């Protein structure tokens, strides 16, 4: 099992049929970000994702170590 919470993968996969970089999982969704979403992140906004109608996940750009 991996302690990371973010993984870069080549393609989507069925977590019930394929080993996940996070260990056993029972579902997943694909979220596609538009140029508008990316611009909002670059402008310091946070994106909220509705996950399976049950959870909310937030995406934000990591701030550089120098704080700029």
Instruction: Determine the structural domain holding residue 64 and report its residue range.
Output: 32-68
Query: How many domains are contained in the chain?
Result: 2
Nearest-CA neighbor of 31 among 17, 45, 51, 16? 51
23 and 9 in contact (C-beta within 8 Å)?
no
Pairing of strands 47-51, 55-59: antiparallel
Tell me what the mean pLDDT of segment 31-35 comes to: 96
The answer on pLDDT for 27 being more than 90 is: no
pLDDT, mean over the chain: 89
Q: What is the pTM of this model?
A: 0.75
Same domain, residue pair 24 and 9: yes
The answer on pLDDT for 17 being more than 50 is: yes
pLDDT at 68: 63
Distance CA 42, CA 56 (A): 21
Residue carrying structure tokens 């120098």? 66
The answer on pLDDT for 38 being more than 60 is: yes
Same domain, residue pair 25 and 43: no
């Amino acid at each position: 099992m991996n302690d990371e919470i973010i993984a870069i993968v080549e393609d989507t996969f069925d977590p019930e049929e394929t080993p996940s970089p996070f260990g056993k999982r029972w579902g997943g969704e694909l979220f596609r970000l538009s140029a508008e979403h990316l611009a909002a992140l670059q402008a310091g906004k946070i994106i909220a994702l509705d996950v399976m109608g049950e959870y909310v996940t937030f995406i934000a750009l990591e701030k550089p170590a120098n704080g700029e």
